[in-house]
Amino acid sequence: MQNSQRRSALSLKHVLLVAFAAGSIVLGTSHTALAQDSKPAAAAQGDAVVPAKPKPGAAAVATPVADKTTPVADETTPVADEAAPSGADVVPVQDPQNKPAPQDDTTARPTDATPPAAVDQDKPVTSVPVAFDPKMVIDRARALAEKPFEDPHRDLPDALANLSAEEYDQIRFKSQRAFFSQANSGFSLELFHPGNMYDVPIAINLVRDGNLQVVPYSAGLFDFGEAGLSGNDFSTQGYAGFRLRYPLSDVTSNDELARFLGASYFRLQGEGQSIGQMARGLALDLAGPTGEEVPVFREFWIVAPKKGERKITVYALLDSARVTGAYRFDIIPGADSKADIRANLFFREGIEKVGLAPLNGMFLFGEQRRRTFEDYRGEVHSSDGLLINNGHGEWLWRPLDNPVNLQISSFLDENPRGFGLLQRDRDFDHYQDLDRRFDQQPGYWVTPKGNWGKGHVELVEIPIPSESNDNIVAYWVPETKPVAGGEMQIEYSITATRDGDDLHQMAQATDTRIMRIAPQGDDEPAKTRFVLNFAGGDLDYFTKNIAKMKANVSAAHGTVENIRLMADPENGGVRVIFDLLRDGDVASSDLRAFLLYDEQVLSETWTMPWVF
């Protein structure tokens, strides 16, 4: 019971969702919803500006406005791929009556949720190999969905369950015993030990020459440091996850490339990037009134790369109370490492909101949200904005926030071209953090493959008091809801990028600063001043005649006045300044701004919700 209570507390601490999910979706005030449009206001003929207007009575969803502005070493033989074609459209729901019958795969799989027998030797040990077919992972997921759900979490021995995060970090995999050989392929595989919040026994399988080998638990693979665990028997606990290493920096380095640890979370890093935000396999009813359901990866199959191969493939089995899934990750290291992902999902029950390609970040404070406590650092965040390239080709930049109340923004779209949580600010002086190195943490960019249909990108921002928890989540929500017995297939890629400079050639919104202006007299209302910086693209070319450049600024509610635009020789690009006044009793607004030269759009659209 004690371990179960600890697991519940740690799960809540890790995702920070259940406590905020009991009420309605809010933006700054209770029982209020604000959805952000996925496209900016279009410029009308001549110099007139037509601001975007929300649909009457639509508090939760805003209607897009059309715009025409133009995302142990062994060589192996390749394994057979799944039958689904590359780039296939998302299939939201498949008729349960037309599902193919699951195939028997008992000869090639370990018992569900049961870790393999333990061995304790000085080098990695694997089981007797059996043939592996990637299709068996899909069959496993389909068959699992037809069975009652069994909670994969287990009560850890107190010695493991009571480890603090710092104590858990002392358990290190012995790098000299890594699987695969960096001399042959550059890749190596290391395992994570269970403990702390990591209480799901994960089965790890290797695929060599088309054959599957189970990796039994071995305490000899780990250095327990000063955690005081060396004398314990943890043979029934399995593993907690794994990491992949690759020489990203130079041929002699041994850098972390990817990490799969905890629930369905994974990380991806490129050259010169430090550990930062995370991605997930799936998000279910996140920030909803019934509370979030957290799926887990419970088994992995890692294909040993061939000599000289620049890709490593990982298969994963996902399980949750209402859905199972078969995932394939093709991970390609580089300056901007990339994972091509294919997921086949099978639904035990219907789900109100399924979040596809979810990304996790942390935003405590930045230049637009001043801290209310002492901290030597100027900014603390793993990402500072959400970038969206919608199905109409429009680019939107939404600065992130650590709001007072739970805040959810929706961006309606059809067949999105991409979205991601990016870290644009790369100036170390803005962070001054030598431990976390926020200036080196990657942003993640999702590129859908095929047509994802109608839906919306959803951004969840959760108030947090410290940086110890992620509070930012972004994902795609399809319009068609999954039904019991239905199936869904989705394909996309995630790229670990530094700042996304190569994603488009337009000017970027680089900074957002905000100040309150007190009334100057009894009859003068209070104002809020916004100071935006735009840089990059062709701005340097057009600023030579800045008199013909204009800023298109609009607000769904409230009055925008005192719009000014000026060259910024110190930061480069231009600066846009405007004031926002409250009209009547409106509680919030939706702001947007972009740059024009004559009628040519020069920049992405900056957009931000605002609570008066």
Q: What whole-number distance in Å separates Cα of residue 597 and Cα of residue 253?
A: 48
Task: Using the predicted structure, report yes or no on whether residue 113 has a pLDDT greater than 60.
Answer: no
Stretch among 45-49, 363-367, 510-514, 598-602 having the lowest mean pLDDT: 45-49
Parallel, antiparallel or unpaired: strands 323-332 and 312-319: antiparallel
pLDDT given for residue 592 in this prediction: 97
Q: First CA to last CA across the chain, in angstroms? A: 46
What's the average model confidence in pLDDT over 256-276?
Answer: 95
Considering Cα of 268, then 271, then 275, then 277, what sign does the dihedral take?
A: negative
Model pLDDT for residues 466-478, shown as the tens digit of each residue: 998 899 999 999 9
What's the average model confidence in pLDDT over 548-556?
Answer: 96
Q: What whole-number distance in Å separates Cα of residue 556 and Cα of residue 156?
A: 52
565 and 545 Cβ atoms separated by less than 8 Å:
no
DSSP labels, 444-480? EEEEEES---EEEEEEEE---SSTTS--EEEEEEESS
Amino acid identity, residue 139? D
pLDDT confidence of 94, banded at 50, 70, 90?
A: low
CATH 2.60.40.10 given to domain 506-611? yes
pLDDT confidence of 279, banded at 50, 70, 90?
A: very high
CATH number of 113-497: 2.70.98.10
DSSP labels, 242-311? EEEEE--SSTT--EEEEEEESTTEEEE--TTPPS--EEES-EESTT-TT--B--EEEEEEEEPPPTT---
Q: How many C-beta atoms surround the C-beta of residue 380 within 10 A?
A: 19
Cβ-based neighbours of 521, under 8 Å, separated by 6 or more: none
pLDDT confidence of 183, banded at 50, 70, 90?
A: confident
Model pLDDT for residues 310-340, shown as the tens digit of each residue: 999 999 999 999 999 999 999 999 999 999 9
Percentage of residues of the chain with pLDDT beyond 70: 78
Task: For the chain, give every domain's residue range.
Answer: 113-497, 506-611
